[in-house]
Chains A and B, each alone.
Chain A
């Protein structure tokens, strides 16, 4: 691990002055601390992907396969033929610069290649050379350049400095989506065996055990039972969730981060309490025990392979529909890819809340409902007994995760839930929420320790907005609906705005929920006193 700058030093180091050298002549910085560690060979082999002997991005010679140029050319050609998005986005950018300062990585680093337009030019320049007449004839005058091992290094560096958050796409007059560009770039790199371990290890784990950390079925059951013990201690109510139970009405799938990583675990407790309270007929699966899908960050095929388990398990168990937990990229996959890839889910029924009778027609085909939609409906129909004052010590703001915001539009449901379960809610400035939201800085598989500098820089715009409401309203809790956020935002807050905590919205639901037959609550789900006065008297 490389030590990183102190917050103030980092902030002052941001320099938006353009370098004097043309970007084509500036080599990528691949010194330790500036790249993600490459994938271990065993993970690639396990998945049957092009594998490569151990290597480091810091190496001078990456020992690419002999025919690497051909592999890239053919791979590029194939993708141009498969994706209209890629073809159109390669051709129509006018470099107006509207996207330039919209990327959180650019804002935090000042590196011009983190401007979305230049990130795309990294591919586009090669596209022009290989696939356009003008580029073939005029070369660099037409913005074309020949692919070299250094260009591959540049791709590796910068396609792993993009979190596929799509913020630039909001401002682009043609909707050019850098997420598409980065996905293609990563797929091409993957053809040469170049991947990062933080993505491929979870993928390999998920493929075999059903979840990112490789939690085996019996261990998963134990973890959940452990949460149930905690819930019993706090509320006096014993919950016995079922696993892999055939005939349940609903299959619940959430990111596995909620099983083991604080504060996601408290969100998991919130789900369990909610389902118990409303008497939901649901089951958890150990086989489809991951909502997240790091295949999205690898290739469309890998995404499909992992995602396939959800429908397969729903079919095997004979449930009526699927309920999905709080997760960002999981919902990009479910909302924009799942049905196309692994549907039609004609063995399921159009989701209908057994409690309120509400039919979720917006999920009529995919048959999967977001927990925020589900809970908002419960609250709206007065099906929950809530005591929001139990969250009174929190002054809450809400971070829209990139994917539910820009790949779905789940904006008001979580806000409605939050306002139902806590009394103090404040929005961050308009330019930093909803479809203009900023990434946590660690999305799309970049939530890895070795690039802490980049992550803190990328997360700066988000943290800066949190700081604004922290200073103005005393906000001390950042709510989110994403497992990567719950892992990435705590260190980000510790770094930039240390007084602010991070929570999933269903943790706050769990706190506020007045369950039938519960004992008087003295602590929240974190075993911390319910309000500040008590906290102070304890001290």
Chain B
């Protein structure tokens, strides 16, 4: 077994066990139910802000959009206003499509050698898995707002209705949970099974996927199999949300704390990991800038003074030859 996924799996198992033993067996429910969630939120918020501020502190010295279509030039040449935007509006559309629809991933191709030629095939899988994963994750997060808000906002209930549209099982199956698990597993399998992707993958790529799989699995188990006392969970969550935190009477099962603890780990891990792509995608200078470089001057705050070779120095070097060749000079 590759050490990268071994370490990652081990880490997730150990973390899960810590919560199970700590909260379930040793009874440290206050630690796992109150202290660690608060700690996680503090670390997440401060870490996230710190990281984004860190990026923002570095200037963007040059306007370097990657242009993926026709520029704005002559009136009669059709500009690609989205992939080569020259206005803020175009940039907003480009970023919106990128962030919401993963447009660049959608263009993905696979390179293959076919006989004596190289061929490129459009492949949709990475895009599909990514969309599946991110949107079901998003739906799951929104659904969980039910635990923290009273009354439950309309959009949460609305989403639950769509999410449970299959109307199978009792309690009704939420598609998002299953799809999240499927998405994460597919992304994981891709990393393990495709040799090229396996070669570039690190522990930091496996760990979050396994962590999320752990979270999804424990969540699904609590909802459908080892049913957790939802009323108590809501009591705990509302307490946390309203800063009147307390462990509900009689406590909660070990599995719940495994779920919660893994979520806390994920939340704390985000600011220090590649999961910051959720913030970074907004700040990527190759995507969030208009290609209006020749129309509007971009300012570099640290534009250095440099030594030029001036025309006068040049003429001093070559004056005689220039005169001889009949080239005009400044000083005869």
**Chain A interfacial positions (CB closer than 8 Å to B):** 11, 14, 16-19, 23, 48, 80-89, 91-98, 100-102, 107, 112, 115, 117-118, 121, 132-134, 141-143, 166, 169-177, 180, 207-210, 216-218, 221-222, 243-246, 286-287, 300-301, 304-305, 308-309, 312-313, 316, 334-337, 339-341, 343-344, 358, 360-366, 368, 373, 376-377, 380, 405-413, 416, 429, 431-432, 434-435, 460-461, 464, 467-468
A-B Cβ contacts below 8 A, count: 306
Q: A410 and B196 in contact (CB under 8 A), knowing A341-B303, A365-B296? A: no
B69 contacts which chain A residues (CB < 8 A)? 409, 411, 434-435
Q: State which of B23-31, B142-150, B285-293 sits at the interface with chain A.
A: B285-293
| B160-211 at interface with A (beta carbon < 8 Å) | 194-205
- Is B66 an interface residue, CB under 8 A from the partner? yes
Partner of B77, one of A84, A96, A180, A376: A376
- Is B306 an interface residue, CB under 8 A from the partner? yes
B232 contacts which chain A residues (CB < 8 A)? none
Partner of A246, one of B107, B318, B328: B328
Interface contact B327-A361, CB-CB below 8 Å? no
B324 contacts which chain A residues (CB < 8 A)? 218
Interface contact B300-A340, CB-CB below 8 Å? yes
Q: A409 and B281 in contact (CB under 8 A), knowing A143-B202, A210-B314, A431-B109? A: no
A175-B274 Cα distance, complex, nearest whole Å? 15
A222-B322 Cα distance, complex, nearest whole Å? 12
Q: Which residue of B lies closest to A210 (CB)?
A: B314
Partner of B274, one of A92, A166, A180, A309: A92
Interface contact B317-A208, CB-CB below 8 Å? yes
Q: Which residue of B lies closest to A168 (CB)?
A: B66
Interface contact B308-A305, CB-CB below 8 Å? yes
Interface contact A98-B74, CB-CB below 8 Å? no
A115 contacts which chain B residues (CB < 8 A)? 196, 200
B68 contacts which chain A residues (CB < 8 A)? 170, 406, 409, 435
Interface contact B327-A216, CB-CB below 8 Å? no
B325 contacts which chain A residues (CB < 8 A)? 217-218, 221-222
A121 contacts which chain B residues (CB < 8 A)? 200
B309 contacts which chain A residues (CB < 8 A)? 207-208, 305, 309
- Is B118 an interface residue, CB under 8 A from the partner? yes
Q: Which residue of B lies closest to A243 (CB)?
A: B327
Interface contact A83-B61, CB-CB below 8 Å? yes
| B24-81 at interface with A (beta carbon < 8 Å) | 51, 54-64, 66-74, 76-78, 80
Partner of A312, one of B198, B274, B284, B310: B310
Q: How far is the CB of B211 from chain A (nearest CB, A)?
A: 14
Interface contact A134-B273, CB-CB below 8 Å? yes
Q: A308 and B293 in contact (CB under 8 A), knowing A18-B196, A95-B201, A177-B286? A: no
Interface contact B70-A431, CB-CB below 8 Å? no
Q: State which of B98-106, B214-222, B244-252, B256-264 sits at the interface with chain A.
A: B98-106
Interface contact A408-B71, CB-CB below 8 Å? yes
Q: Can you give 20 A-B contacts (C-beta < 8 A)?
A: A16-B113, A82-B58, A88-B285, A91-B55, A91-B280, A95-B201, A170-B66, A171-B108, A177-B64, A218-B327, A221-B326, A287-B314, A305-B306, A335-B294, A340-B293, A363-B295, A364-B294, A366-B294, A408-B67, A435-B83
A526-B285 Cα distance, complex, nearest whole Å? 44
- Is B298 an interface residue, CB under 8 A from the partner? yes
Q: A173 and B54 in contact (CB under 8 A), knowing A246-B328, A308-B308, A339-B293? A: no
B117 contacts which chain A residues (CB < 8 A)? 464, 467-468
Q: How far is the CB of A73 from chain B (nearest CB, A)?
A: 17
- Is B299 an interface residue, CB under 8 A from the partner? yes
Partner of B294, one of A207, A304, A344, A362: A362
Q: A141 and B295 in contact (CB under 8 A), knowing A92-B276, A221-B327, A312-B311? A: no
A246-B327 Cα distance, complex, nearest whole Å? 11
A29-B262 Cα distance, complex, nearest whole Å? 44
Partner of A343, one of B66, B78, B285, B297: B297
| B97-137 at interface with A (beta carbon < 8 Å) | 98, 102, 104-105, 107-111, 113, 116-118, 120, 126, 130
A368 contacts which chain B residues (CB < 8 A)? 294
Q: How far is the CB of A182 from chain B (nearest CB, A)?
A: 13
A174-B281 Cα distance, complex, nearest whole Å? 5
Interface contact B274-A94, CB-CB below 8 Å? yes
B331 contacts which chain A residues (CB < 8 A)? none
Number of interface residues of B (CB under 8 A): 98
Q: A406 and B66 in contact (CB under 8 A), knowing A92-B280, A286-B327, A364-B294? A: yes
B281 contacts which chain A residues (CB < 8 A)? 92, 173-174
A344 contacts which chain B residues (CB < 8 A)? 297
A87-B50 Cα distance, complex, nearest whole Å? 13
- Is B302 an interface residue, CB under 8 A from the partner? yes
Interface contact A335-B126, CB-CB below 8 Å? no
Q: A410 and B202 in contact (CB under 8 A), knowing A91-B280, A217-B318, A218-B322? A: no
A376-B60 Cα distance, complex, nearest whole Å? 33
A410-B84 Cα distance, complex, nearest whole Å? 10
A209-B68 Cα distance, complex, nearest whole Å? 36
Interface contact B327-A217, CB-CB below 8 Å? yes
User: Can you add 5 more A-B contacts, CB < 8 Å, to A98-B108, A412-B70?
Assistant: A84-B283, A92-B284, A340-B62, A409-B291, A467-B117
Q: How far is the CB of A79 from chain B (nearest CB, A)?
A: 9
Q: Which residue of B lies closest to A15 (CB)?
A: B113
B291 contacts which chain A residues (CB < 8 A)? 335, 408-409
Q: A377 and B74 in contact (CB under 8 A), knowing A95-B200, A171-B108? A: yes
Interface contact B199-A304, CB-CB below 8 Å? no
B300 contacts which chain A residues (CB < 8 A)? 340-341
Residue among A107, A166, A408, A468 with max Cβ neighbours from chain B (10 Å): A408
A336 contacts which chain B residues (CB < 8 A)? 62-64, 293
Q: How far is the CB of A412 from chain B (nearest CB, A)?
A: 5
Q: Which residue of A lies closest to B3 (CB)?
A: A141
Interface contact A340-B298, CB-CB below 8 Å? yes
A411 contacts which chain B residues (CB < 8 A)? 69-71
Interface contact B67-A435, CB-CB below 8 Å? yes
Partner of B104, one of A11, A141, A173, A216: A173
A382-B147 Cα distance, complex, nearest whole Å? 71
B328 contacts which chain A residues (CB < 8 A)? 243-246
A143 contacts which chain B residues (CB < 8 A)? 202-204
Interface contact A308-B126, CB-CB below 8 Å? no
A98 contacts which chain B residues (CB < 8 A)? 104-105, 108, 126
Partner of B321, one of A93, A218, A341: A218
Partner of B311, one of A81, A287, A304, A363: A287
Interface contact B204-A91, CB-CB below 8 Å? no
Interface contact B306-A301, CB-CB below 8 Å? yes
A48 contacts which chain B residues (CB < 8 A)? 307
Q: How far is the CB of B265 from chain A (nearest CB, A)?
A: 14
A363-B296 Cα distance, complex, nearest whole Å? 8
A95 contacts which chain B residues (CB < 8 A)? 197, 200-202, 205, 274
A169 contacts which chain B residues (CB < 8 A)? 66, 286
Q: A87 and B54 in contact (CB under 8 A), knowing A18-B198, A173-B102, A377-B74? A: yes
- Is B272 an interface residue, CB under 8 A from the partner? yes
Interface contact B283-A175, CB-CB below 8 Å? no
